[in-house]
Amino acid sequence: MSPILLTRMTGDRNIVSTLDFIPGSAVLGIFAKKYIELNKLGNKAHEDHYFYKYFLNSGLCFTNAYLTRNDGKDNTAYYPTPFSIHSSKKNDTDIFDLIIKYKEDTENIGNYCKIKNDEINFISARKAINFHHARDDRLKGHSDEGIIFNYESLNPWQEFSGWIIGKQTDLNTILGLIDSPMKINIGRSRHIQYGEGELELIFDIPDTPVSEITALDPAIMKNPFILTFWSPAIFYNECGFPSTSLSAFKNYLSSHLGVHPKTIHITNSFKKSETIENFISIWQLKRPSDVCIKAGSCFEIEIDDLDDRIKNSLAVLQVAGIGERTGEGFGRFLINMQSKEKYKSQIMIEQENKMPIGNIPEITQTIIKNVITKSCLTLVEVHALEDCQGFCRRKDRIPTNSLLGKLTLIVKELKNDGRFINKVSELPSTATDNIRNCKNNQVNLLKFIGISYDHIIKILNRDSDLKECCNLIGFELYADEAFMNKIYSHYWLTFLAVMRKEKKKGRN
């Protein structure tokens, strides 16, 4: 009901970025606070047997709440897209699953998806960037030096859905905690303009146990199988430290299935890691950060002598989750979420909006065009920040400051994207080798410059609201050469500015 900021860790200190889902820890916090208030526990809540059981000992599982959209008939929940699902670089409507069959010249799609048979839908959460004044002395109420920082936030009026999973007697207690719907406040800066929302229970406790995970049928399960994480997963190594190694994951899996780790073989994987942290309000402190396997990671697994006992254990584990902090929604996974080598990409049908009759006034068209302009600049800026972080993981491979300055001057003088590519290719070989040496997980920086215009087009194409606004006033976005050059320049000026900051931090 208002913008929401759920902070996540990024490398840029000038922007506070947000998650694009509601974490299970935030949902747990809502119910824990309500339980404390109703039972008047104060700061002694941890001494209450049921509070400890429900909220501290993973007696209940509060899953992440992911984006939900109306498909014209019903509300549909979308989940993190598996990292093995890529689109063709030549035609982004050709969707392949590389864990089933490898394809060349593809790129990761990201965002959220819904898979049904051989059809797949993609959506992404709508975000905005808000500018605020930084001030050392909050009592003065203004910035002494005029320093500005950025808040990225989720736009209001988006729906997210999740689950509370547990025994029926425990769920009955939780059910009595809220009036549905109930006003809530979550996230950062919720006492000013952020964080207002509404929580509603979709249905009461069913007679037959259900969860967001599709029931696993051991009878049709084959070996090998694909395990895909729907939420981040935390595993500790033998020394008690968070680890994203395959051996730590296999140790947890083997202990739950009652088999030896050597009988579990990970034959293929698409894995990413991230660092997560959250704020504990009762501590008034951040919780120590954990390194985890990122949602969307998927593994092809083969288990020696896979029998019905092991299959049934997997079915139980799929409902309970694996790893640490499962009560906060970590470690949710699905067996054989992907089953097709190729998918048909479907366009999601939103609810029809009734438009006023008559032509759009000229002043309204001007306002909408200004909104489109600002939205495009904001959108490419956010992606430039994210893309740059991928190339800055190795600080020693970032191009020199003088070379970054030279690239910035080229961008400022360019008239189109082709000019930038040509100017970069005309640089001395020592410079191009320096640029080529800087890489993310998929491509080197020199090659990325060559494909960056198409990359920016894909960024803009994925925003359905932007398309609707353009269609509304008949604005041909890509036909406006001057405007597209401005967008392209803004992307690279942002990208290079962040890279120079990262280079400076690496030198320190």
The residue extents of the domains of the chain are: 7-80+107-210, 218-342, 362-507
pLDDT at residue 274 is higher than 50 = yes
- Structure tokens given for 270: 């698409």
Phi, psi (rounded to 5 degrees) for 259: -130, 165
* CB-based contact 317:254 (threshold 8 Å): no
* CB-based contact 491:384 (threshold 8 Å): yes
pLDDT at residue 144 is higher than 90 = no
Indicate the range of 6-15, 193-202, 296-305, 408-417 predicted with least confidence: 6-15
Residue 14: its pLDDT value, please? 60
pLDDT at residue 132 is higher than 70 = no
The letter for the amino acid at 28 is L
Residue 351: its pLDDT value, please? 41
Mean pLDDT for the stretch of residues 68-89: 83
- Structure tokens given for 455: 């990359």
pLDDT at residue 65 is higher than 50 = yes
Q: What is the pLDDT of residues 25-45, one digit of tens each?
A: 999 988 988 888 888 888 888
CB-count burial class (<10 Å; 0-12, 13-18, 19+) for 201 = middle
Residue 460: its pLDDT value, please? 85
CATH of 218-342, one of 3.40.50.1220, 3.40.50.1470, 3.30.70.1900, 3.30.70.920: 3.30.70.1900
pLDDT at residue 508 is higher than 50 = no
Which comes out higher in pLDDT, residue 75 or 314? 314
* CB-based contact 298:227 (threshold 8 Å): yes
DSSP state at residue 52: I
Residue 366: its pLDDT value, please? 86
Q: What is the pLDDT of residues 409-456, one digit of tens each?
A: 888 887 666 678 888 888 898 999 999 999 988 889 998 988 888 888
Residue 260: its pLDDT value, please? 93
From CA 334, how far away is CA 321, in angstroms rounded? 9
Average pLDDT of the residues of the chain: 83
Max CA separation in the chain (angstroms): 72
Indicate the range of 12-21, 73-82, 324-333, 360-369 predicted with least confidence: 12-21
Q: What is the CA 177 to chain-centroid distance, rounded?
A: 30
Element of type H or E holding 310 = helix 308-320
Which comes out higher in pLDDT, residue 71 or 412? 412
Question: What percentage of the chain has pLDDT greater than the value 90?
Answer: 25
From CA 276, how far away is CA 239, in angstroms rounded? 20
Indicate the range of 197-206, 262-271, 315-324 predicted with least confidence: 197-206
Mean pLDDT for the stretch of residues 354-381: 79
Q: How many CA atoms lie within 13 A of 121 on its CB side?
A: 18
pLDDT at residue 255 is higher than 90 = yes
Position 385 confidence tier, pLDDT thresholds 50, 70, 90 = confident
The three-point CA angle 140-1-154 to 5° equals 75
The letter for the amino acid at 258 is G
Mean pLDDT for the stretch of residues 447-467: 84
From CA 76, how far away is CA 115, in angstroms rounded? 11
* CB-based contact 194:187 (threshold 8 Å): yes
Decide: pTM greater than 0.85.
no
Indicate the range of 12-16, 89-93, 197-201, 227-231 predicted with least confidence: 12-16
Element of type H or E holding 202 = none
Mean pLDDT for the stretch of residues 462-468: 76
SS3 call for 131? strand
Mean pLDDT for the stretch of residues 456-470: 81
* CB-based contact 105:97 (threshold 8 Å): no
